[in-house]
Amino acid sequence: MKRWFRQHRYAILVAVRRLWLHPFSSISNLLVIALTLALPILGASFLKAAQPVVKEVSISPEITVFMKPAATRNASQDVLAAVKTRHGDAIASARIVTREEAMASLKRNPNWADALSVLPDNPLPDAVLVTLNQVENLPAITAALVKDLGTLPEVHTVQHDAAWVQRLAAILDFVTVGLGMLAAGVALVVLATVFNTVRMQALTQREEIAVARLVGATESFVRRPFLYLGALTGVLASLLAIALAQIALQPLNRALANLAASYGTRIELSLPDGLWLVWSIVAVALLAALSARWSVTRNTRF
């Protein structure tokens, strides 16, 4: 066991020494990998900030049937009954939102409270809120339902207000897929950079490796420092990428705060959680070590 630890400690020290003896090359490689790794980290930060916004908004398809201002409560009850009778299979729930409930909800919003306090009476109509089931061919069913509800007596307007939320969810799905493709591209960059770095190291130390083999060094002993070199490069580049992403988030948050303030909201970008970052560092280190093994296997056959 002591021999095993001694061999691995020696391999780590050799890897560190090789990085230290070529500072310009090492820093250049680390910057290339770190800048590439920072892109998916920033992308994950944007997704992390956007997901709570989407979760706060229901993506259940909803239809709001606004009654005429002069419509009676009985007319609203008739519309509710007609909805349940005609389209019971398509709807998940339906309920009446009275004008008093709508006014009370608006008054609880400080942005509307002062303006509504000067109104002599309640100008809001009753409404019937219909929530649809998630079924196949939902757009066609929704269009037919909206058209039919618009023909009911005492109905003023029928509004379908979930389309934009569905588009937002689709955009987030698209961004998620794009982030996955970006991560695949980053993996290729890491593979190529580490492969080339180890290749140059192996060719530079060609004579040293040949002498080591002559005195009885095993292939694992020869290749082990290169594997640690790749893994160490991946770890250092990942830590540098996290630092660069954190620095980049500062101006991005200032610009985003000004934009969000104009819409009366607050959004702040932050790095993904620590466990996600730790697993990312481990994944990059393993990928770099595999690339180093591939490179040293191909370039030390002499």
What stretches of the chain adopt beta strand conformation (E)? 62-67, 91-97, 127-132, 155-160
Does the pTM surpass 0.85? The reply is: no
When the candidates are 3.30.70.3040, 2.60.120.1440, 3.40.50.300, 1.10.3720.10, the CATH number that belongs to 62-161 is 3.30.70.3040
pLDDT of 166: 63
Cα 194 to chain centroid distance, Å, stands at 27
> Cβ of 139: how many Cβ atoms within 10 Å?
11
Domain extents in the chain? 2-57+166-299, 62-161
Q: Band of the pLDDT at 244, cuts 50, 70, 90? A: very high
58-72, 179-193, 204-218, range with the lowest pLDDT: 204-218
pLDDT of 51: 65
111-130 burial, b for 16+ CB within 10 Å, e for fewer? eeeeeeeeeeeeebbbbbeb
Q: Distance between CA 96 and CA 108 in Å, rounded?
A: 20
pLDDT of 302: 47
Task: Indicate if the pLDDT at residue 75 is higher than 80.
Answer: yes
Query: How large is the average pLDDT for residues 82-101?
Result: 79
pLDDT of 247: 92
pLDDT of 292: 83
Please state whether 137 falls in left (phi above 0), alpha (psi between -120 and 50) or beta: left
Query: How large is the average pLDDT for residues 265-288?
Result: 85
pLDDT tens-digit profile of 26-45? 788 888 888 888 888 888 88
Q: Please enumerate in sequence order all residues whose Cβ is within 8 A of that of 27, keeping only pairs 6 or more positions apart, or say none.
A: none
pLDDT of 42: 84
Task: Indicate if the pLDDT at residue 57 is higher than 60.
Answer: no
53-57, 166-170, 291-295, range with the lowest pLDDT: 53-57
What mean pLDDT is reported for the chain? Answer: 77
The interaxial angle of helices 206-214 and 219-262, nearest 10 deg, is: 140
